[in-house]
Amino acid sequence: MSESNYNPAEIEAKWQEIWEEQGLYRQEIDKSKPKHYALTMLPYPSGDLHIGHWYAMTPSDARARFMRMKGYNVLFPMGFDAFGLPAENAAIKRNIHPAKWTKANIERMRGQLRSMGTMFDWEREAVTCDPSYYKWTQWFFKKLMEQGLAYRKHAAVDFCPNCNTTLAREQVWGEDRHCERCGTPVIKKHLEQWFFRTTAYAEELLDFSGIDWPERVKVMQTNWIGRSEGANVVFETAEGGHEIKVFTTRPDTLWGATFMVLAPEHPLVGAVTTAEQEEAVAAYQAAAERMSSIDRESADREKTGVFTGGYAINPVNGEQIPIWIADYVLMDYGFGAIMAVPAHDERDFAFAQKYDLDIVEVIRGSNRTDEDGPLAEAYTEKEEGVLINSGQFSGIAVKGAVSKVTAWLAEQGKGEQSINYRLRDWLISRQRYWGSPIPIVYCDEHGAVPVPDDELPVMLPEDVAFMPTGESPLKSHEGFLNTTCPVCGAAATRETDTMDTFMCSSWYQYRYLSPDYDEGPFDPEEGAYWLPVDQYTGGIEHATMHLIYTRFFTKAMRDMGLVTDDEPMKALFNQGMVLGEDNEKMSKSRGNVIAPDDLVQEFGADTVRAYIMFFAKWELGGPWNYDGIKGPQRFLRDVWSLATADYAPEGEDEEATANLRRKTHQVIAKVTDDLERFAFNTAVAALMELRNALVEAERAANVSVGAWEEGIEMMLHLLAPIAPYISEELWSQRGHETSIHEQAWPTWDEEIAKEDTITLVVQVNGKVRAKIEVAADVSNADAEAAALSDPAIVERLAGKEPRKVIVVPGRLVNIVA
Ligand code: ANZ
């Protein structure tokens, strides 16, 4: 083989320039071709691209390039999710303005992104902190308001004391309810905040028909939305005639409701509490308020509560039942009140035992009798058992009882069927500086008035003391704060909170279509051609935040008449994560961070790309291995040597020629199928096999020139999406004038790809009993397996284990029975 003079640094810089000059990756409407909108999640401009960006983006790029070669007109844009807390925190730490910090980072990252060799069309770049972008984010806020999907409410909200801002429910994670960004446990604050009515689409968000999304994401979203079917039942208080409404999933257990529990914040607590209990109740309420950072829903935490002194009447049997307050009942689910059925609910059972409250069994399983004594635990079975102590329903099976009891309650005017969701409306107000201002003006006379369209965007002022105080820094900016009412012209003040940055990324795929368009959020002509996104790629960590928000946005946009699709992205694929060499998550403190720039310098971008695609299944990810990159490096060097070699056969061996052609066509089929399925690792492995076959052919110098040329050119085609620079360079060195990236994806010939087969004779105890077709290079084990599974042999052995099997390669399989 010829000596390799492959110099990645040189050719990569060269092709970046040529591609840009030629506009090779300009992506424009072309109605003569089917379109393919490939989207990968946009980065936050943190300052440096890390290997995780490479891991997410370069295989996505390979897939987009593959689709392009397959004949699609591919849109593959890139941008920056540029508002957000890290910029502000970095700015505070280093005393530079967040805008400056962000812009410098974007500049740097653009260069790094270019080195990756991706086909991003930079003319479609969108940066969410640009006024030309956030003008439309604000416009969407107004549109949502018009649609009744944005509203303002005074509410107890989650507040991160470290980030000094409120958070959406989705941004509060874990048992200890910590901030998704910084890990600090959140506290509750009572604030006037803006919300988006995501719950209006709860039912539709549960419907994933028509989109090809990973099962895991669908399950996570379904759990997050948390749909429960049940009934609302009204209880009256024994005195004062107040009505307490509850949501229950088990109306069939109503006869067993022996007490009620209100959330400590429930508005009727004051009304039902007796004078004797007032002090204890107030103390418990105060404690609950302080405790709210702990997960009140946690099942294992010891239940606590206080009796209010008041009673309610069970609507089905007229019994007086005590009303308690307890923090395991949450104010923001159902009606913030429950009917407690200790015999059939674990939490209620624990509570009743602790406070010595009545436990009345109303469902009985078949393996239990009166002699068994009191229940040792709640009986929560819904499929097996019959109702007892339940008036006219006694004796019916528990299975199906919910709907029967619900129908009867509705007839009696005592309840109604109801569906509840865990999903909460999306809280979008943030008390921080670096975000899009909310386009609202408050007027004494006219309340919250949206800023007129022709005054958008409400510019984020730059001269702001952006120290985090828990209040928006915009509050202390007189010039920003003071304005006039758009309706009456009287003095008014602006909303000073900014929007959650998840809002910016909820619609960015639309802005990419026409980032400079000023008549609307995107050019409808571009939208009509490119939408929806055909293939989205990104990390699983966005399953319940970004991916719910963007679905909500698209549904709202559809109802505004802006798009016709119900869903933003037809297909989604989640890649895994690259870990450090120590198999741990990469972090500066662990010192296991892999810096892509260094790798590019040492190996070239193509090798880094090939290794990223090769070292793990993309959806799984795994630990980085510095030595592992040598394999793909060797591979690309070999490809270089092979493609630049002067191949001159010494003779022409028919079989060797057929073998090479077979391999070539098999690899075309394999790589095509693999790239379709995001199986990049096996695609690279198949190309390495083709390399081996070519190395062998060159050494033996015995295949036809035609077969050799075919092998080399197919290698370059198949390699193009994975290693775009080297394939382009070698392609052009071979005298081609148009880019390899504009070539059609190769097809294969099944006949040529077909394995050579041979016939083996199968004997049982020395007599020929069957003949089998197997691959010419079949292993002994495979030949044995094929013989033993032949129907004639299976019949003859009649289930008995053969005593011995002897394989004579290329001739026969002898079974001793
Ligand atoms: C009586 C009952 C009997 C219940 C029984 C369950 C079992 P999911 O499935 O999560 O929707 N619940 C209702 N509102 C609540 C609140 N604000 N805080 C805490 N718990 C609340 O749960 C619905 C069940 O959770 C409801 O059904 C109610 O308890 C409780 F054998 O009512 B159930």
- The per-residue pLDDT for range 394-408, each reduced to its tens digit, is 999 999 999 999 999
Q: Where residue 2 falls among pLDDT bands split at 50, 70, 90?
A: very low
35-40 and 533-539: which strand pairing? Answer: parallel
CA 742 to CA 183: how far, in whole Å? 48
CB 57 within 8 A of CB 77: no
Q: Where residue 1 falls among pLDDT bands split at 50, 70, 90?
A: very low
- Say how many Å lie between the CA of residue 249 and the centre of ligand 1: 6
Q: Where residue 169 falls among pLDDT bands split at 50, 70, 90?
A: confident
- Say how many Å lie between the CA of residue 247 and the centre of ligand 1: 7
CA 171 to CA 194: how far, in whole Å? 16
Q: Where residue 591 falls among pLDDT bands split at 50, 70, 90?
A: confident
- The per-residue pLDDT for range 747-792, each reduced to its tens digit, is 999 999 998 888 999 999 989 999 999 988 889 999 999 999 999 9
Neighbours of 90 (CB within 10 A): 18
Q: Where residue 800 falls among pLDDT bands split at 50, 70, 90?
A: confident
Contacts of 734 (CB under 8 A, 6+ apart): 643, 712, 713, 716
**Ligand 1 pocket test target in 250, 295, 418 with most atoms within 8 Å of CB:** 250
Query: Is the distance from the beta carbon of residue 345 to the nearest atom of ligand 1 less than 6 Å?
Result: yes
CB 761 within 8 A of CB 813: yes
Q: What share of the chain in percent tops pLDDT 70?
A: 98
Bridge partner residues of 447 (DSSP): 443
User: Would you say residue 471 has pLDDT above 90?
Assistant: no
On the question of a cis peptide bond just before residue 532, with omega within 30 degrees of 0, the verdict is yes
CB 126 within 8 A of CB 492: no
CB 47 within 8 A of CB 10: no
Q: What is the DSSP string of 375-406?
A: -SS----SSS-EE-S-GGGTTSBSTTHHHHHH
Extract the runs of DSSP E, i.e. beta strands, from 432-523: 440-443, 447-450, 482-484, 491-494, 498-499
Q: What is the pLDDT of residue 186?
A: 87
Report the nearest-CA residue for atom 20 of ligand 1: 329
Q: Count Cα atoms within 13 angstroms, Cβ side, for 469.
A: 10
User: Would you say residue 257 has pLDDT above 90?
Assistant: yes
Give the mean pLDDT of 4-33.
95
Q: Which atom of ligand 1 is nearest to the CA of 420?
A: 11
Tell me the C-alpha to C-alpha distance, in Å, between residue 238 and each of 265, 326, 352: 21, 20, 21
Tokens found for residue 415: 């309840």
CA 757 to CA 636: how far, in whole Å? 33
Q: What is the pLDDT of residue 280?
A: 97
**Ligand 1 pocket test target in 269, 316, 345, 387 with most atoms within 8 Å of CB:** 345
3-state SS track over 679-742: CHHHHHHHHHHHHHHHHHHHHHCCCCHHHHHHHHHHHHHHHCCCCHHHHHHHHHHCCCCCCHHH
- Say how many Å lie between the CA of residue 542 and the centre of ligand 1: 29
Query: Is the distance from the beta carbon of residue 256 to the nearest atom of ligand 1 less than 6 Å?
Result: no
Q: Count Cα atoms within 13 angstroms, Cβ side, for 708.
A: 21
Q: What is the pLDDT of residue 101?
A: 93
Q: What is the pLDDT of residue 756?
A: 81
Q: What is the pLDDT of residue 291?
A: 66
Contacts of 54 (CB under 8 A, 6+ apart): 116, 596, 608, 609, 612
Neighbours of 311 (CB within 10 A): 18
Q: What is the pLDDT of residue 296?
A: 57
- The per-residue pLDDT for range 666-710, each reduced to its tens digit, is 999 999 999 999 999 999 999 999 999 999 999 999 999 999 999
- The per-residue pLDDT for range 54-111, each reduced to its tens digit, is 999 999 999 999 999 999 999 999 999 999 988 888 888 888 899 999 999 999 999 9
Q: What is the pLDDT of residue 784?
A: 93
Query: Is the distance from the beta carbon of residue 264 to the nearest atom of ligand 1 less than 6 Å?
Result: no
Q: Is 483 helix (H, G, I), strand (E, B) or coil?
A: strand
Lowest mean per-residue pLDDT among 119-128, 219-228, 470-479: 470-479
Give the mean pLDDT of 477-503.
96
Query: Is the distance from the beta carbon of residue 334 to the nearest atom of ligand 1 less than 6 Å?
Result: yes
Q: Is 486 helix (H, G, I), strand (E, B) or coil?
A: coil
Helix axes 98-115, 85-94, angle to 10 degrees: 110
User: Would you say residue 637 has pLDDT above 80?
Assistant: yes
Tokens found for residue 345: 């609910």
CB 350 within 8 A of CB 314: no
CB 491 within 8 A of CB 478: no
Candidates 4, 8, 5; CA nearest to 726 is: 8
The one-letter amino acid at 5:
N
Q: What is the pLDDT of residue 640?
A: 97
- The residue assigned the tokens 């910090």 is 101
- The per-residue pLDDT for range 531-567, each reduced to its tens digit, is 999 999 999 999 999 999 999 999 999 999 999 999 9
Q: Which atom of ligand 1 is nearest to the CA of 249?
A: 27
Q: What is the pLDDT of residue 349?
A: 97
Report the nearest-CA residue for atom 2 of ligand 1: 250
Query: Is the distance from the beta carbon of residue 235 to the nearest atom of ligand 1 less than 6 Å?
Result: no
Tokens found for residue 47: 């300052």
CA 8 to chain CA centroid, Å, is: 35
Tell me the C-alpha to C-alpha distance, in Å, between residue 420 and each of 199, 200, 248, 339, 411: 10, 12, 9, 16, 21
- The per-residue pLDDT for range 286-317, each reduced to its tens digit, is 888 776 545 555 556 788 999 999 999 999 99
Query: Is the distance from the beta carbon of residue 381 to the nearest atom of ligand 1 less than 6 Å?
Result: no
Neighbours of 106 (CB within 10 A): 21
Give the mean pLDDT of 407-434.
94
Query: Is the distance from the beta carbon of residue 339 to the nearest atom of ligand 1 less than 6 Å?
Result: yes
- Say how many Å lie between the CA of residue 371 and the centre of ligand 1: 30
Q: Where residue 321 falls among pLDDT bands split at 50, 70, 90?
A: very high
533-539 and 621-623: which strand pairing? Answer: unpaired
User: Would you say residue 3 has pLDDT above 60?
Assistant: no
Contacts of 790 (CB under 8 A, 6+ apart): 762, 770, 772
- Say how many Å lie between the CA of residue 351 and the centre of ligand 1: 14
- Say how many Å lie between the CA of residue 509 and the centre of ligand 1: 40
Give the mean pLDDT of 619-634.
94
Give the chain's mean pLDDT.
94
Neighbours of 134 (CB within 10 A): 27
Q: What is the pLDDT of residue 122?
A: 95
